[in-house]
Structure 1
């Protein structure tokens, strides 16, 4: 009986490890640079640990974060700021993250999905039914 259980257990462990690896590789297809919807900024999607983030790496017109509710943050440049934070990859979507809107200084719950080579970024309050979707085009 032990001869049967040990190989079965090892096989299951290998399968679980491979499944986790393939999920990670599939999730990493989001990594790269994207135009903001108005093409006035470029956002780089990067991975830290198991989560995905997006920071501004180029802006057409440099400006400060003047709408931030935190007085101390209003003096910071928007270049280099993480606008997309803490996304997890789950079944083809990037979920449980947040998006910061520098136009109004508010942070919203967010979900990201692919539309071809572009990203559909949906910011919302509460449930995703009540929100707005913007398309971020991948930079070639």
Structure 2
């Protein structure tokens, strides 16, 4: 009986490691200025990211185009939405910029284990802005 339980636990551990290896984007990332930290997670086969920490934790989303959301805290806001995985690139999603209140098309590309290139754009990806986030270990 103990051997069966040990085998079952080992199998569950292996499955968890395998699942994590398939989604290397999952986890916590920091923007280049160090002002914000984003946690990327998966729900319903799509990838999302939430600002789980910002330097000014009480800062409000005052530039949001929706007046009903302007009184919410920026910390805790989902800023990455609806990405799908395509190799090392995650595309088809959007990024919300709380500094401007604007939402842009976005693609993210993993660069090794600890860097994530973020490209926000309007229309085509040639017209946009990029930055590199680093993984928080």
TM-score normalised by structure 2 residue count: 0.81
What residue in structure 2 maps to residue 124 of structure 1?
Answer: 121
What's the CA shift for 1:26?
5.7
1:128 aligns to what SS in structure 2? coil
Tell me if structure 2 keeps the 8 A contact 1:27–1:89: no
Gaps of 5+ in 2: 1-18
What's the CA shift for 1:138?
0.4
* Number of positions where the alignment pairs a residue of Structure 1 with one of Structure 2: 117
Does the alignment pair 1:45 with 2:66? no
Q: Are residues 82 and 125 of structure 1, via their aligned partners in 2, closer, same or farther at CA, if it must alter by over 3 Å?
A: same
What residue in structure 2 maps to residue 80 of structure 1?
Answer: 76
Does the alignment pair 1:110 with 2:106? yes
TM-score normalised by structure 1 residue count: 0.80
Aligned-residue CA RMSD in angstroms? 1.3
CA distance in 1, matches of 2:74, 2:99: 11
What's the CA shift for 1:92?
2.0
CA distance in 2, matches of 1:43, 1:25: 18
2:70 aligns to what SS in structure 1? helix
